[in-house]
Amino acid sequence: MRILFVAAEAAPIAKVGGMGDVVGALPKVLRQMGHDVRIFLPYYGFLPDKMEIPSEPIWKGYAMFQDFAVYESVLPGTDVPLYLFGHPAFTPRRIYGGEDEDWRFTLFSNGAAEFCWNYWKPEIVHCHDWHTGMLPVWLNQSPDITTVFTIHNLAYQGPWRWYLEKITWCPWYMQGHNTMAAAVQFADRVNTVSPTYAEQIKTPAYGEQIEGLLSFIGGKLSGIINGIDTEVYNPANDKYITQTFTTDTLDKRKANKIALQEEMGLEVNSGAFLIGMVSRLVEQKGLDLVLQILDRFMAYTDAQFVLLGTGDRYYETQMWQLASRYPGRMATYLLYNDALSRRIYAGTDAFLMPSRFEPCGISQMMALRYGSVPIVRRTGGLVDTVTHYDPVNNAGTGYCFDRYEPLDLFTCMIRAWEGFRFKPQWQELQKRGMSQNFSWYESAKQYDNLYRSMYGLPPQEEEETAPAPELILTEANGKS
Ligand SMILES: Nc1ncnc2c1ncn2[C@@H]1O[C@H](COP(=O)(O)OP(=O)(O)O[C@H]2O[C@H](CO)[C@@H](O)[C@H](O)[C@H]2O)[C@@H](O)[C@H]1O
């Protein structure tokens, strides 16, 4: 099938969070399964630093009283054709923010619709988050183009209808009161990125005010768990980490811990319990909970803590100040740095992710893959990807807690700190985590079936889509 992914992010060239990981990895796997998948992305001002882009556009269009140009390239490291939507509104060297954000991404969506109608006509347009939310509304005009809308973050719902009416075409049939609601109503299929979260968003606690609508469209709503790019994120051959390792050579991992302690200015001590966190610093990620207990945890234990993240100014300053109280034991790096994030996954003993809500979560899967034991709150995709450690039966992959309460997080972290003392059991726990299969293949199969269902086709037979050999985790050759 011809499928166009339309999104604001695509790793490795334009990524702020997990949506970039998904858009950067899923098309590659779907292409291996035989689909003609292409990506439509804004031409951000920083892109020429990261990849070759032809100077001549392949097509010029007009939307919302604006001229725009589309440039064709290939997503680096893949064979996925990449179309870049060129307009001066995207020239600044950033993805999100700025006063024109709502207008800018509505223009981008409108440009994508024009592109589908006039240049490359896909059978399916796969839209991601509110930035592309008007596409299902407009493409509703074209019976030969179907749409899938994936919710990565329900908390951001885009501009309200009264604003959209001022800047763009809102057809008479459109009912959604904001971009996200409109997309949910008009997309042929809606999915979010884990089965648990797909159920949770139908409730007031997680539905972000549109739980009624999400319950109403229940039949076309599903949850498909994300994967991670196991070729790119592979501890057996990752060139950004100090020492590569596999489950068979777990002892070598210690070199990464020592290198990380040196790099982040911590006391070098391979015996210390080192917890890491790589995160956007926003309410979703449970930062308020962390701030309520971390000081006490650091005072009570001899653990070390590293944080890599950017986000809300309040959380940035609070975490920064806390680090200054524990020199040599805690470090806060307020930056976005993919290479350093890998060294944190590869060098820490445990990875903290106490999210308030979590559609899926990519970071905990990366932590598991790199042998860092996740400490998570059981919500959304964290329920579907991390299982509770049971030392008696030697089962489970992480430390979990249920209630969004400081005391629950505190005791969970203490349990992990104590568990770390039992080295053989801890290593078994790490190995179990590293052996989980988070490759995109299983999820891609579900997306394939979702696409097929829109055309009345039966689900793909199991044997017809055997996993590509390079996606299977094989410790012997270090490939995944
Ligand atoms: N400072 C920093 N430096 C380097 N790397 C950093 C970083 N801060 C974050 N990252 C990286 O960004 C990604 C974060 O992905 P997550 O899925 O965990 O959360 P996010 O909330 O962004 O994604 C949303 O979309 C995804 C995709 O669907 C869902 O999994 C998730 O639940 C939803 O909230 C990871 O790859 C992480 O390593």
Structure confidence by residue, pLDDT tens digits, 281-323: 999 999 999 999 999 999 999 999 999 999 999 999 999 999 9
Strand order in the sheet with 373-377: 330-333, 304-311, 274-281, 350-353, 373-377, 399-401
Residue to substitute in 315, 363, 372 for testing ligand 1 pocket (most ligand atoms within 8 angstroms of CB): 363
Atom of ligand 1 nearest to the CA of 16: 12
Atom of ligand 1 nearest to the CA of 285: 21
Strands 146-151 and 330-333: unpaired
Say if CB 224 and CB 446 are below 8 A apart. yes
- Residue 283 DSSP symbol: G
- DSSP codes joined into one string, 136-201: HHHHTT-TT-EEEEEES-TT----BHHHHHHHS---TT---SBHHHHHHHH-SEEEES-HHHHHHT
- DSSP codes joined into one string, 204-239: TTTSTT-HHHHHHTGGGEEE----B-TTTS-TTT-T
CA distances from 53 to 44, 68, 87, 91, 246 (A): 12, 16, 15, 14, 37
Q: What percent of the chain shows pLDDT beyond 70?
A: 96
Tens digit of each residue's pLDDT (9 = 90 or more) over 46-100: 999 999 999 999 999 999 999 999 999 999 999 999 999 999 999 999 999 999 9
- CB burial of 241-250 (b: ≥16 within 10 Å; e: otherwise) equals bbbbbbbeeb
ipTM of the complex: 0.98
Q: What are phi and psi for residue 274, nearest 5 degrees?
A: -105, 115
Atom of ligand 1 nearest to the CA of 280: 8
CA of 19 from ligand 1 middle (Å) equals 7
Residue to substitute in 240, 362, 365 for testing ligand 1 pocket (most ligand atoms within 8 angstroms of CB): 362
The arithmetic mean of pLDDT across residues 24-44, rounded, is: 97
CA of 174 from ligand 1 middle (Å) equals 32
Q: Model pTM?
A: 0.92
Residue of the CA atom closest to atom 12 of ligand 1: 17
Residue of the CA atom closest to atom 5 of ligand 1: 338
**Euclidean distance between CA atoms 99 and 256, whole angstroms:** 42
- pLDDT confidence bin for 237, thresholds 50/70/90: very high
Number of H helices, E strands in the chain: 17, 15
Residue of the CA atom closest to atom 35 of ligand 1: 363
Tens digit of each residue's pLDDT (9 = 90 or more) over 415-469: 999 999 999 999 999 999 999 999 999 999 999 999 999 999 988 876 544 444 4
Output the furthest CA–CA distance in the chain (Å, rounded): 66
Q: Comparing C-alpha atoms, which of 117, 94, 120, 116 is closest to residue 105?
A: 94
Atom of ligand 1 nearest to the CA of 380: 32
Tens digit of each residue's pLDDT (9 = 90 or more) over 218-228: 789 999 999 99
CA of 22 from ligand 1 middle (Å) equals 10
Tens digit of each residue's pLDDT (9 = 90 or more) over 104-130: 999 999 999 999 999 999 999 999 999
CA of 258 from ligand 1 middle (Å) equals 25
CA of 393 from ligand 1 middle (Å) equals 32
CA of 78 from ligand 1 middle (Å) equals 21
Type and span of the H or E element at 62:
strand 59-63
CA of 278 from ligand 1 middle (Å) equals 8
Say if CB 58 and CB 86 are below 8 A apart. no
Residue of the CA atom closest to atom 26 of ligand 1: 18
CA of 20 from ligand 1 middle (Å) equals 8
Atom of ligand 1 nearest to the CA of 353: 18
The pocket around ligand 1, CB under 6 angstroms, is made up of: 17-19, 21-22, 152-153, 193, 226, 278-280, 308-310, 336-338, 341, 358-363, 366, 381
Atom of ligand 1 nearest to the CA of 359: 32
pLDDT value of residue 463 = 52
Cα-Cα-Cα-Cα dihedral of 288, 290, 294, 296, to 10°?
70
* Cis peptide bond N-terminal to 327, omega within 30: no
- pLDDT confidence bin for 231, thresholds 50/70/90: confident
Say if CB 456 and CB 439 are below 8 A apart. no
Residue to substitute in 208, 333, 341 for testing ligand 1 pocket (most ligand atoms within 8 angstroms of CB): 341
Atom of ligand 1 nearest to the CA of 338: 4
Does the pLDDT of residue 471 top 60, yes or no?
A: no
CA of 68 from ligand 1 middle (Å) equals 30
**Euclidean distance between CA atoms 292 and 282, whole angstroms:** 15
Identify the residue whose tokens are 């030697």. 394
The per-residue pLDDT of the chain, averaged, comes to 94
Residue to substitute in 280, 284, 356 for testing ligand 1 pocket (most ligand atoms within 8 angstroms of CB): 280
**Euclidean distance between CA atoms 305 and 296, whole angstroms:** 13
**Euclidean distance between CA atoms 473 and 439, whole angstroms:** 8
Residue 302, Cβ density class (10 Å: 0-12 exposed, 13-18 middle, ≥19 buried): exposed
pLDDT value of residue 462 = 63
CA of 128 from ligand 1 middle (Å) equals 15
**Euclidean distance between CA atoms 35 and 410, whole angstroms:** 47
Is 220 one of the annotated binding-site residues? no
Strand order in the sheet with 221-223: 59-63, 66-74, 81-86, 36-42, 2-6, 124-128, 146-151, 189-192, 221-223
Task: Take residue 139 and report the two structure tokens written for it.
Answer: 């493409």
